[in-house]
Structure 1
Amino acid sequence: MKKLIFSLATVSCFYSNAQTLLSENFDGATFPPTGWTKSNTNTDRAWNSTSIVFSGTSAISTELRNRFTINGSNSATIDWVAGANDASLVSPSFSLAGVTNPKLTFKVKLGWGYMISLNEGNLLAQISTNGGTNWTTLWNEDSETGFIDDGDGNVDTDLYNTVTVQRDLAAYIGQANVKIRFQYVADNADAVSIDDVQVIATGSLGTSEVLKAKSNTSVYPNPTKGEVNIKTDKKVKATSVIDMSGKTLNRSEAGNTDISALPKGIYLMKVEFADGTSTTEKIIKQ
């Protein structure tokens, strides 16, 4: 994870540097990777790496390993079985507290025929904000338009194409015990694979702050009961007040603003400058 450096000034500065909160390419020698867990109801089929699931030197093993390895030397995959299976691959916990614009991305490969056309299985990407007790579905392969039918009417020869999925996680900003789960629920369906799982935010407000050069922009008074002024050596184009979920509450072209109508709490003030740059400052409403 990239380290961000923050100010020890009265207001912590916000930086637009991308911050990686979760990243896994499944190329390591151990599966599941450190911090990941897996479970399955069918003892014959569990999530594993493509090199293990499709091991062997036969032409079929090699073809399947090549088909389901999306990127690098391995991908996470689960093979089909002639029976029911509910199998999950769960990420380590990570925090969305204080971040902005978090997004989940991953690559996925599956066949049109059995998973979509016949719908004998479902692959879900889900999120939990309480360490895995409850889950909310972010993505279902049935609604993914990127998977393609080759049109020949034969489910056994349909295409296996890779789709890159992205989902906005702004609704979960502020949650500190977040996990991502890939759930495969199928009955005599088909193999699927995933790869390059990432959760990236464009910035973070530091809780442990270290020294850096003092910013040329500051807001005052802070904490405030309402009025917020900006001190800067640049020409201000506009200001926006944003809550911790990422929602913009107001926007002004003035060099100051008033948040007296807002509830007590922590907010972000985004200051846009005439030269095209911007900075975001944390403000506390008393």
Structure 2
Amino acid sequence: MDKKLLLIFAITLSLFAFSQNISFETSEGYTLGNLPGQQGWSRWGGVTTSSAKVINTTASIGSNSVTVTSNSSGTSGGVTKSISGFTKTEYSFDYKISAVGSSEYHMVVQDLDDNIVGGFNIEPSQGGLLVYNGVIDDGVATSVNISANTWYNFKLIANLATHTVTYYLNNILLGSQPISNSVMGFNVLNFVYDNEGSGFTMDNIKILNADLLSTSENNYNDKIDVYPNPTSDFINIKIKEVVKSIEIFDLSGKLILKDVSGKKEISISHLQNGSYILKVNTKESAYTKKFIKN
């Protein structure tokens, strides 16, 4: 076999060994329609086979996503998938809710005995965001309220060696919490709601070996550059991929600005001085950079 092909094959194997990506695309074996039964996904409780669907009408990346609708039965349920985690696992996903003031949402990862490793909870009243702290059905409140029909990127890094989990929203640190000593693995994704009138949509799920991320993250970030930074009027984006949209968040995770023109520059002259997170969405991926408006 050609040496170049051998090298590509070896790199592909190494990437597969420490990463799993799910964006519900046709290239991954997904088809539009009912999610349960596809690629290891299943449903439980109040989620019926037809209420969890692969759709192509909205997506945070690529063309497809999964939406779970509500029939207002008040019967909790969810969609789950078994995965392979690591001693130190970075887990992230894009997620949006259809309404505030109705259903409550839990996005958790569990071991094989259903013990919660870590996760997020969105309260029904005002969309308040909580993070799990090692106690089932308990959490620690953050200062963030989640808005309806807005994509957010949720991320946690679970370290089973130190039994700690660190939480992020749109790459902004929310803090760290303990993992219960009874947790023995990183095995099951579980997206849950109490089915009280509103549903959710999810996309861009990533499971990575965090112990191997230092080099790969540097290579990933090298794909994009933003300049000037700091800046007072415009930000230019240097990237080879086609830009689908640009989003700007404040440091609380609130979406401040969204541009879908496809241009590789954006005006920020009207923003207040301070630090912000720039998210660039392409057909292939999504990138974030921090910048300062002065």
Sort the TM-score into its range (normalised by shorter chain). Answer: 0.3 to 0.5
Bigger-Rg structure (1/2): 1
Relative to the length of structure 2, the TM-score reads: 0.45
With CA pairs under 8 Å and 6+ residues apart, which has the higher RCO, 1 or 2? 1
